[in-house]
Amino acid sequence: MSTPFSDGTRSVHAGLPAPAVGEPFLPGPVFAAPYHLDPATGPGEHGYARTEHPTRELLEAAIGELEGGPALAFSSGQAAITALLLAVLRSGDTVALPADGYFTVRAFAESFLRDLGVTTVLVPTAGPYPDLTGVRLVLLETPANPGLDVCDVRAVAAQAHRAGALVAVDNTTATPLGQNPLALGADLVVASGTKALTGHSDVLLGYVAATDPELLGRVETWRKQTGAVPGAFDCWLAHRSIATLDLRLARQSRNAEALASLLVSRTDVTGVRWPGLPADPSFAVASAQMRRIPGVVSFDLGTAERVARFLDAARLVFAATSFGGVHTTADRRAQWGDDTSPGFVRFSCGIEDTADLIADVTAALDASR
């Protein structure tokens, strides 16, 4: 491909097969576990869906094009992350994990990984990063969910590589149109496709991408032998949704910018975090490293009761966990038992019209005071 296409074009065309007369642009989901085999030669291109599947392969091609390295799809983000951890780590290894990242990853490390003899070091995303000597794998999550701190992937990757460690980046919040960790020096990308990548709140999906075939091969063998593959319909829904990724992110980001400006102007809201705000602690690193800032904003309304009143009063903000979807949602994280304060809200801007959303949030904040 000679012309470097821009994000909207890349989203629409990612992973599509070459045009063929009478065939759809994106072939429909193939519902089959086994396929006909050639009795003489045995397994060919497709034999059994856990190992290879045509609909999944098209989705993987799309994600791989956007990430800049071959990708493997998993049945959820957690399936992808745990596959990466278990395929890479051995008893006696040390793994560095974000202290402020997706909490289920820490829970997994503190139970199953610990039982396997793997030591975990927790590092805040914003740093400082400790001496990484003796660390086998550094998993970064930037921007971190839910606090939205950002780390300098290039700098941490250089430090980790000097110490002999591998670097993986959880790219869930940014998506591959927000940043490309492989181009920033990471060895692996891991992500939940459940969030903004697919964006319609209707599929669970995860993926691992890596440019080193040996490394990705190990993850693929892990997936083949443990079986956490996504189904055909979910792969097809995800691929269909990626066509609008650029448009969705653009509106979500614009809504987040307007929302963050509103929130910092109010005296009844504290702790506003959005890496695109010039006053945000993550602004400098995010502007240098990211191609766009996601639609997630975090802030504090003081008490659980005020968050409930706010969500009751809002017409356009659904109370829901997860984020990155076309509908605006908000989640009081402390209700899930993670270590945020009682009034902490992770707010995910949807693709509603900016003026409607801002008016609705303003009215709901006023009503909840």
Binding site for ligand PLP (CB under 6 A): 76-78, 81, 102, 141, 145, 170, 172-173, 192, 194-195, 204, 206
Phi, psi (degrees; rounded to nearest 5) at 167:
-125, 125
Question: Rounded to the nearest 10 degrees, how much is the dihedral formed by the CA atoms of 183, 189, 194, 196?
Answer: -20
Cα–Cα dist 329/87, whole Å: 34
H/E segment holding residue 357: helix 354-368
Residue of this chain nearest to ligand PLP (CB atom): 77
Q: How many CA atoms are closer than 13 Å to the CA of 159, on its beta-carbon side?
A: 17
| Token output for 83 | 């596959």
Of 189 and 263, which CB lies nearer to ligand PLP in the complex structure?
Answer: 189
| Token output for 269 | 């809201």
Of 108 and 364, which CB lies nearer to ligand PLP in the complex structure?
Answer: 108
Of 178 and 206, which CB lies nearer to ligand PLP in the complex structure?
Answer: 206
Quick check: 66 and 177 in contact, CB under 8 A? yes
Q: Measured from the CB of residue 244, what is the shortest distance to ligand PLP in angstroms?
A: 19
Of 70 and 143, which CB lies nearer to ligand PLP in the complex structure?
Answer: 143
Of 69 and 206, which CB lies nearer to ligand PLP in the complex structure?
Answer: 206
Q: Measured from the CB of residue 312, what is the shortest distance to ligand PLP in angstroms?
A: 26
Of 182 and 269, which CB lies nearer to ligand PLP in the complex structure?
Answer: 182
Burial readout 123-149 (b: 16 or more C-beta within 10 A, e: otherwise): bebbeebeebeebbbbbbbbbbbbbbb
Q: Measured from the CB of residue 92, what is the shortest distance to ligand PLP in angstroms?
A: 26
| Token output for 172 | 């869930």
Q: Measured from the CB of residue 192, what is the shortest distance to ligand PLP in angstroms?
A: 3
Quick check: 293 and 275 in contact, CB under 8 A? yes
Q: Measured from the CB of residue 237, what is the shortest distance to ligand PLP in angstroms?
A: 14
229 Cα distance to chain centroid: 17
Q: Measured from the CB of residue 291, what is the shortest distance to ligand PLP in angstroms?
A: 18
Q: Measured from the CB of residue 37, what is the shortest distance to ligand PLP in angstroms?
A: 33
Q: Are strands 166-170 and 188-192 parallel, antiparallel or unpaired?
A: parallel
Q: In the 8-state DSSP scheme, what is residue 291?
A: S
Of 274 and 368, which CB lies nearer to ligand PLP in the complex structure?
Answer: 274
Q: Measured from the CB of residue 196, what is the shortest distance to ligand PLP in angstroms?
A: 10
Of 198 and 253, which CB lies nearer to ligand PLP in the complex structure?
Answer: 198
Phi, psi (degrees; rounded to nearest 5) at 128:
-70, 145
Phi, psi (degrees; rounded to nearest 5) at 80:
-70, -45
Cα–Cα dist 33/332, whole Å: 40
